[in-house]
Structure 1
């Protein structure tokens, strides 16, 4: 009996599904990534409520492991994270400020990533009104066309005598578009574009690599790396062995087991018709809980006692149907637990069955699960 089984036995019986977050695995992943980064500092990206796993538990565990730099996407996330972590850790806001949010950003000692002239101007104006220098991170678009100054625009800005007056630049950064594909030519092109900008700001620390970029080698590490998904166990490079520990487990109860004859249709739209006499297990997880609807019709599966149980028909909002025919008699019944994420199927495998990526599966996991944090 494992830790997860003990947690479930201690349950009151009201929960139908169980999500576990292994904080010790999270910390091991952080240390592995920090070790890969060599002399570069290792930050942690905890945006979207730590990728849906709960920033209130994830961020303190990382801080206790020695992480001193965190990134979120929005100012509101930064305000909440500051309340969780207190003073001390640096919190960067990747999307920068929205008009009117600058005061809250400064009051909570957040460091905005300045992505364009409007954000730069607003942050400088606030520094002038407050009569003190404000910290800032500068982002350059090295080839993703998403966030950041265009390199030519930034070059012209750097030619101005007082472009960053009133500000203290803590970091210059960019983001790789194709880092999960090591041999993609965009990686070298973006590195060159970023290095050219960094040469104009030699005294400012630099950051280019996020999760996958760490594995492109020391040349991509610069002064700081910013892992996000890799912390939570998502494979950093497609098709290669995953060096990271799984952090998330997901189990669900069987609500009903029934014998259904061949020829019967199953689920909405009668999308599946049974080719044989079957035993079908209905499980209390659906797309409202983040199980991908596109993983229906046999593409996705759960696991029980080492057996793969394919999804039959369409995934419903609150349930899905599994083919349990090949399990030994008595191996499964109402109240039994099946693994949706676990030793036989990690996040990347579930995502592949749904035609998506682990990031999307992870961040969509819902709030009806009973959550357990292990290794706290």
Structure 2
């Protein structure tokens, strides 16, 4: 088989969820947007539901419909983007809970689906989604009269524990929700790790469930083994790959492996990346192409049948560093050609 194999440890995801729930000591939801960070939202959510999760968050209503089919009735599925035009049928049919972001969304929701559950999202300084203080002040009494199920906001700098924005947003959230007897949520993964002041009634970890920073103690979730298609000897002075990007300085052995940027292995990582063969690091050479990557295996006593990009020696955040990006992008980019093997 020439396609790479992506191993996904569902029990590791559940273990990470339980660990974050233990830290928070409040209700702990799970963010499964972007198809469970690229790992299959249905499978991930089903396993987390068995572990005890009862609330899930997705980005858009269409994701919520798919997730409801996987979960069945019971768990709450909240939609960060709120109630967009054309969403009423999906929200009602899949029993989704939109997180209302504006006056327009509030009006749309109560007119189209009177009495249907909803939450509220407030902007405490990130300037992305949610009602700003002035808008919230004007809408507050009307919104509260409709009995929202949750009030949330989102931290901009939670992965930087000492950043003053964290406390500024927490203070703003306190001011905007003071005196309300409604469940509140401020923390995703990073906020959960900031401490009890940020936990409120519900935390909603995302990337930490999947083994990503800032949850450094997370169990690894993904392993990526990439087959070697061909090896060749390269003489001194010969080049490898597009644009003659690598030139042999000594007699070398080069392996070509079966994955590239079409599989989510970002081109920008280039020759800064490395793979592992039986625990030994070997460097990527030349350019990452659409379907192939070349690796210098001169130092190996023999060429293995496959090499590992993600695994015990190298996390999604390590690979992200090669490309100057973040672990989120690596996870959500993992390609559709992989042979996916799930472990429970």
Q: Give the TM-score category using the shorter length.
A: over 0.9
Q: What CA distance in whole angstroms lies between the structure 2 residues aligned with 1:203 and 1:56?
A: 33
TM-score of the two chains, using structure 2 as the length reference:
0.98
2:118 alignment counterpart = 136
Match of residue 340 from structure 1? 309
State how far apart, in whole Å, the 2-side matches of 1:104 and 1:20 are. Answer: 32
Of 217, 224, 237, which aligns to 2:202? 224
Q: Deviations over 1:79-126 (max 9, x none)?
A: 111111000000000111220112220221100010011111100102
Quickly say closer, same or farther: Cα 1:15–1:274, change in 2 above 3 A. closer
Q: Distance in 2 between matches of 1:318 and 1:77?
A: 29
Bigger shift: 97-106 or 207-216? 97-106
2:4 aligns with one of 17, 21, 39: 17
SS at structure 1 position matched to 2:272: coil
In 2, distance between residues paired with 1:213 and 1:66?
21
In the alignment, structure 1 segments of 5+ residues that lack a partner are 1-13
| Partner residue of 1:304 out of 254, 277, 286 | 277
- Per the alignment, residue 181 of structure 1 pairs with 160
Any idea what the Cα deviations from partners look like across 1:137-173, whole Å, max 9, x if unmatched?
A: 1011101000000012101222x4x3455x3301100
Given that 1:43 and 1:225 are in contact with CA atoms closer than 8 Å, whether structure 2 keeps it comes out as: yes
Q: Does 1:146 align with 2:128?
A: yes
Q: 1:195 aligns with which of 155, 170, 174?
A: 174
1:249 aligned partner? 223
Alignment of 1:15-164 (within 5 A): 15-38=2-25, 40-128=26-114, 133-158=115-140, 160=141, 162-164=142-144
Structure 2 unaligned spans of 5+: none
CA separation in 2, counterparts of 1:54 and 1:83? 13
| CA positional deviation for 1:236 | 1.4
Alpha-carbon deviations, 1:167-191, whole Å to 9, x = none?
3301100000000000000000000
Aligned partners of 1:288 and 1:313: how far apart in 2?
A: 17
Number of equivalent positions:
344
Which runs of structure 1 show a deviation greater than 4 angstroms over 4 or more consecutive aligned residues?
none
Q: Is the 2:103–2:135 contact (alpha carbons within 8 Å) kept by the matching residues of 1?
A: no
Provide Cα deviations, 1:305-364, integer angstroms capped at 9, x if missing partner. 222111111000000000001111xx215xx11001011111110111111000000000
Q: Which residue of 2 aligns with 1:11?
A: none
Q: Is 2:191 the counterpart of 1:213?
A: yes
Query: Pairwise CA RMSD of aligned residues?
Result: 1.1
